[in-house]
Structure 1
């Protein structure tokens, strides 16, 4: 039937669920049961989750896993990771253990500058506009003092504002390009509040600037919004060791391994088809920690992928080299993260995750997240250049297949034993279980 509905947002949660169940499901009772089974039995906690977004009907769970043994700048960290993909947490933990025995990860925050822009249309003399901005720039700082005073007390605030002429890209298009320091908050609300005040100040000051004609005073502010592209909010994560120290049971020939590993990275540097998948592997680690710590993974993804294209072609975020007998592997990425504000003070598991990380500052969290991405990338490339990625991944995925087939406890044991020495694929598991059940009959 799928009819439209008026006033949906005003319905109670139970009424919303009832309407959805009747409208979209062949078995409404089963749908309601599934939805309500994911409610938290703690009514207060469920109310907290309900208020995070609009039209909430239930909770959608992701597993929260733990990757221990990360040695970062000389200190061990246990990293929480929220993700649904098999083998990600195991791969991160494996890479962490590998590098903890070889000096660990080094991480450095290179810059923490964030960006916001007021986009506007001005049909007049560009030189006159620049003269106006030079004379009136201080007003933008003055008229945002009520917004910035608390941030300034924490050592942050507005760093600078510049006027950009973008008329070569779009007729009559100009922008106020502002840079910010937001310390331990991600700062989206702070930045957007400043930008909206900039827009008001711009219109007000232009209206009273005598050098402008009436036509020139009629500017159009199109929008005022932060940018999730933060190329000056950069963190570097790296590992290095002597070539011979790479040796372990899976790397019998360190020289050959290192050369093949570097070549794999170089392919991702020059081939966009490979670079996208290569960088997706990095984001497996990054997104999982960003989610677990209550940060905005969509903003992080958008900014990082834009950064991967900063030279005009999509390329690898990580790099590797062999120099003077030393193997080095590193990445530099933009990360705008927060450890105060938003979900960080509301979501109980986010608070738990941050406490597990010893309540890091935003800079420290940037380092941890970048390291998780590098570890994930190392694990993937090590698998790809040695045994292949499917062997380990499918072993981890085996549990999901077993659950899909609704195997009994006895069947589960037999399946796991069988596939210890046999290649795992969905078809192979289905066939084995089918034969197992035929034998039982």
Structure 2
């Protein structure tokens, strides 16, 4: 539903991104040594390698970003705003296009891990993505139906009437090529009765879709109840967006990962997550570390996306991993991910939050499908990075350096003191607040 150019050419329900047309902003996402740059140098790098201007970056400054007045118009009972660190992942090539990816997260190592995995995938062409049409569901629950099976058939007989009535609610959506695509009627057995639940299947274009489908469901609920001879109750979207899928795949060279044994161990680790729900929960959290960071940065609904993710993980009745890891004929790691991705570019915080607006601009995208596919690619990279750490040095060593810096800051260290205090704690393997305070005192006395 967004206006302007699009790099997508669509065939049936499948949209694929193409390269930026001639004259578009050229991006090089391969930026070595990012961690050694100052914040100002990183900002200059972003301006050189994205459509953002220096002025755009003020939306990410605490003093000039989301104001209290703007926040007061977004949610209720506002008393302040909460800052979350916003960085960017480098090295991403997605369908042949380099892109810097904004990520908002409080967790150390997430952005660095995604960037590192993207660097490895880059040598094999990067990430390749695809997706289905942006279809969302609205549910209308009918209760007290005497003849549920016959009611289902009656509602299906009225399919065209109900679709037409629903489409009347959003002429702009219809004009842009969206609208209701179909109706399903489910019989759901519950204690005491069988509910008749009508599903509206709606192409929401570049919206997340909640408002559009909820409005449609409200509009036709009474008529559906008349036809079904029951009482309408719930009429709301489902966050189980199993018809709105985005996919990503990539190849990671064995020698870049650490050798064929590491590839084998990554595959073994992933296989446990497929069959063991206890492992799958943490495995999937690894993917959502990346997914949620991009969703949040772009002002989309993190809870809706995570609900869709986890409901998809249990679609066969048992909670399982959503990423898949295999070894190809050359011994390299092949990773893939398919997941519901209900994100939008119109409405909500994406349009009113200045930081989210700049994040979308940074990505140089014009459709929600593009955004969804970038998000899934980042989730896949994050998962690969996490499993690589688990298969080699273990998670604690990878987190140790960044965690030590946070502890040093908490103890009061500033500037170069942070590096000195954190380095001592890592060397001693004693990353604790009280030890940080002791070392900081020694540093300030000139003893180390």
- Fold conserved between structures, TM > 0.5: yes
Correspondence for 2:121: 99
Aligned runs of 1:125-204 on 2, under 5 Å? 125-167=147-189, 171-204=193-226
Please tell me whether Structure 1 or Structure 2 has the larger radius of gyration of its CA atoms: 1
1:343 aligns with 2:325: no
Aligned runs of 1:32-431 on 2, under 5 Å? 45-167=67-189, 171-205=193-227, 217=229, 219-240=230-251, 245-248=253-256, 251=258, 254-325=259-330, 326-409=332-415, 411-418=417-424, 421-423=427-429, 425-426=431-432, 429-430=436-437
> Shift of the alpha carbon at 1:158?
0.5
Native 8 Å contact 2:142 2:225 kept in 1: no
> Shift of the alpha carbon at 1:235?
1.2
Native 8 Å contact 2:422 2:436 kept in 1: no
> Shift of the alpha carbon at 1:145?
3.5
Give the distance between the partners of 2:106 and 2:385, measured in 1 at CA.
18
> Shift of the alpha carbon at 1:98?
1.8
> Shift of the alpha carbon at 1:201?
1.8
Secondary structure of the corresponding residue to residue 83 of structure 2 = coil
Give the distance between the partners of 2:224 and 2:132, measured in 1 at CA.
32
Classify 1:417/1:136 alpha carbon distance in 2 versus 1 (closer, same or farther; 3 Å).
closer
Native 8 Å contact 1:118 1:195 kept in 2: yes
Give the distance between the partners of 2:227 and 2:318, measured in 1 at CA.
41
Secondary structure of the corresponding residue to residue 168 of structure 2 = helix
Give the distance between the partners of 2:389 and 2:372, measured in 1 at CA.
26
> Shift of the alpha carbon at 1:104?
0.7
Cα distance per residue 1:39-87 (max 9 Å; x no partner) = 9766994311221100000011101111112011111110000110111
Native 8 Å contact 2:407 2:431 kept in 1: no
Classify 1:203/1:45 alpha carbon distance in 2 versus 1 (closer, same or farther; 3 Å).
same
RMSD over aligned CA atoms reads 2.5
The two structures have a TM-score, normalised by structure 2, of 0.80
Give the distance between the partners of 1:50 and 1:278, measured in 2 at CA.
37
Cα distance per residue 1:135-169 (max 9 Å; x no partner) = 43322123233313211111111011122222466
Q: What stretches of structure 1 move > 4 A for 4+ residues in a row?
A: 39-44, 419-422, 434-441
Secondary structure of the corresponding residue to residue 339 of structure 2 = strand
Give the distance between the partners of 1:124 and 1:409, measured in 2 at CA.
72
Give the distance between the partners of 1:43 and 1:292, measured in 2 at CA.
13
Native 8 Å contact 1:157 1:182 kept in 2: yes
Classify 1:127/1:396 alpha carbon distance in 2 versus 1 (closer, same or farther; 3 Å).
closer
Give the distance between the partners of 1:184 and 1:333, measured in 2 at CA.
18
Give the distance between the partners of 1:345 and 1:411, measured in 2 at CA.
41
User: Mind listing any 5+ residue stretches in structure 1 that lack a counterpart?
Assistant: 1-38, 207-216
Secondary structure of the corresponding residue to residue 172 of structure 1 = strand
Secondary structure of the corresponding residue to residue 303 of structure 1 = helix
> Shift of the alpha carbon at 1:322?
1.5
Classify 1:174/1:372 alpha carbon distance in 2 versus 1 (closer, same or farther; 3 Å).
same
Native 8 Å contact 2:169 2:219 kept in 1: no
Native 8 Å contact 2:91 2:115 kept in 1: yes
Give the distance between the partners of 1:384 and 1:172, measured in 2 at CA.
47
Cα distance per residue 1:359-385 (max 9 Å; x no partner) = 241111111000111111111111111
Secondary structure of the corresponding residue to residue 283 of structure 1 = helix
Secondary structure of the corresponding residue to residue 284 of structure 2 = helix
Classify 1:55/1:72 alpha carbon distance in 2 versus 1 (closer, same or farther; 3 Å).
same
Cα distance per residue 1:229-279 (max 9 Å; x no partner) = 0112111111125xxx4214x61xx21111111001001111111111111
